Amino acid sequence: MRVATDHPKHPQHRERAAGLLPVRLVMAEKTEGKSSPFSFAFTAPNSECNLRSSPETKPVMSGKGKTIIAPPTFTISSSQNACPSSEESPWRQVDWSAGAPVESIRSYKPAPDSVPAARVLLVGPVGVGKSSFINSIQSVFYGRVVNRTMVGTSLNSSVSFTKQLQSFQLYGSRDRDGESMALVLSDMVGLGETNGLTLHDTLAVIKGHVPEGHTFSACCPVMTDTPGYVKEPSLAEKVHCVVFVVSGLEISSYSDTMKSTLHQLREHISALGVQQVAVLTHVDKVCAKTARDISQVYNGSLLKQAVLKVGDLLGMPLSSIVPVKNYSEELELDPHTDTLLLGALDHILQSVDLYLRDHSERGSPERAVSSASASS
């Protein structure tokens, strides 16, 4: 028996086993009579392919009165966990032909005149793609892949590359005289097991107390005597929406400590009345077919299962969770990737509007409750 790579003249074989390690089996042994069923299996990442022979062989007559038994035929069956069929009905509808809503987001303005820009804070474990998400969003408006934030990995994978509170006001284009957008995306140190961002400091950022450029340290929590501490932040200085960034590659491997941290964050942020959205990254690494065609992200059950896991992890409804693919290796933009990214951003801005409407009309939830009690 020989094992060889898939034959180039049969591209349908490669398509059938898309995302798998392509192989071809060639029977080279002589057989007489019936052959016993033969099976062979191999695995590739997130997939399995089984090759099985037909249960019977058929005699074939050749010259000089000799009978040669033909080798068994083989069929290929594939159970591909990471590659859902494109024929499945999408579990979420996206008009890919419409393109990314670049202009509508570029012209976005917060409703209250007192708030010049929407402030969005990205939180999540170390290495999930928070900084890459900011770079990817800015790339769409620049028309080419750019890196405004420093993206990298430390020698210790549990240590965040980002150390400070960094806020980036997005630009509507790469023109020198182009206007900045009414949107600020803030990045900070990732949540870690022991040396990451603390719950106390995260809430201080959301409330608007932490100055821009503050370097976080577990041994030096943010206090009223911290240099630059904002004692009475205005509505414009507070965070209007918190985006939880979760990696599709790690969703099933978070420790109990990390899960507890995320649950506590959700509870405290909700108590502040701040809107929250979750972004699922690395979807192209979860599903091979999605890696080849990002428009397949909503076709099939695997990525839906990942979104469900995010919902369980954070206690969020599915409607608050959006999958994206960040630009990391590419040098050119992809229209479908842009559609996913700006679809997520549009969802975030809708949450910002809900927060600003509630807090600009009625003030903070605490003041609203006090006023209601006084009037009664």
Q: Choose between 263 and 159: higher pLDDT.
A: 263
Average pLDDT for the chain:
78
> Which pTM value belongs to this model?
0.73
Our CA dihedral for 271, 274, 275, 280, rounded to 10 degrees, sits at -90
Mean pLDDT confidence for 38-60: 44
Please state at what angle helix 199-206 crosses helix 256-271, rounded to 10 degrees. 30
Residue with tokens 């284009």: 173
pLDDT tens, position by position, 107-137 = 999 988 899 999 999 999 988 999 999 999 9
- Determine the length of the chain: 376
Of the pLDDT bands very low, low, confident and very high (cuts 50, 70, 90), residue 68 is low
Q: Which residues contact 156 (CB under 8 A, 6 or more apart)?
A: none
Mean pLDDT confidence for 293-299: 94
The conformation of residue 143, written as its DSSP 8-state character, comes to T
Encoded tokens for 352? 């910002």
Q: What is the pLDDT of residue 201?
A: 92
Encoded tokens for 337? 């990737």
Q: What is the pLDDT of residue 3?
A: 43
Query: What CA–CA distances, in Å, run from 100 to 91, 298, 336, 339, 365?
Result: 20, 16, 8, 4, 35
Encoded tokens for 142? 């620049």
Q: What is the pLDDT of residue 308?
A: 96
Nearest to 336 by CA among 96, 102, 138, 103: 96
The conformation of residue 57, written as its DSSP 8-state character, comes to -
Mean pLDDT confidence for 226-238: 96
Fold topology of 96-375: Rossmann fold (3.40.50)
Radius of gyration of the chain (CA): 27
Mean pLDDT confidence for 281-292: 92
Give span(s): CATH 3.40.50.300, the chain: 96-375
Q: Choose between 27 and 166: higher pLDDT.
A: 166
Q: Which residues contact 164 (CB under 8 A, 6 or more apart)?
A: 188, 189, 213, 214, 215, 216
What type of residue is 34? K
User: Quick check: 264 pLDDT over 80?
Assistant: yes
Q: Which residues contact 344 (CB under 8 A, 6 or more apart)?
A: 277, 279, 322, 324
Q: Which of the residue ranges 18-22, 71-75, 314-318, 344-348 would you say has the lowest mean pLDDT?
A: 18-22
Of the pLDDT bands very low, low, confident and very high (cuts 50, 70, 90), residue 270 is very high
What residue ranges in the chain does DSSP mark as E strands?
A: 2-4, 24-26, 39-44, 47-53, 59-61, 67-69, 74-80, 118-123, 166-171, 180-187, 241-247, 275-281, 321-323
User: Quick check: 249 pLDDT over 60?
Assistant: yes
pLDDT tens, position by position, 152-165 = 554 344 455 567 89
Q: What is the pLDDT of residue 281?
A: 97
Distance CA 20, CA 42 (A): 10
**Residue 257: phi, psi to the nearest 5?**
-65, -45
Encoded tokens for 370? 């006090």
Of the pLDDT bands very low, low, confident and very high (cuts 50, 70, 90), residue 44 is very low
Mean pLDDT confidence for 310-335: 95
Encoded tokens for 72? 């068994």
Mean pLDDT confidence for 341-365: 87
What is the DSSP secondary-structure string of 190-258?
A: PB-SSSS--HHHHHHHHTT-SPTTPBP-TTS---TTSTT--SS--GGGS-SEEEEEEETTTTTT--HHH
User: Quick check: 369 pLDDT over 60?
Assistant: no
User: Quick check: 266 pLDDT over 70?
Assistant: yes
User: Quick check: 20 pLDDT over 50?
Assistant: no
User: Quick check: 1 pLDDT over 50?
Assistant: no
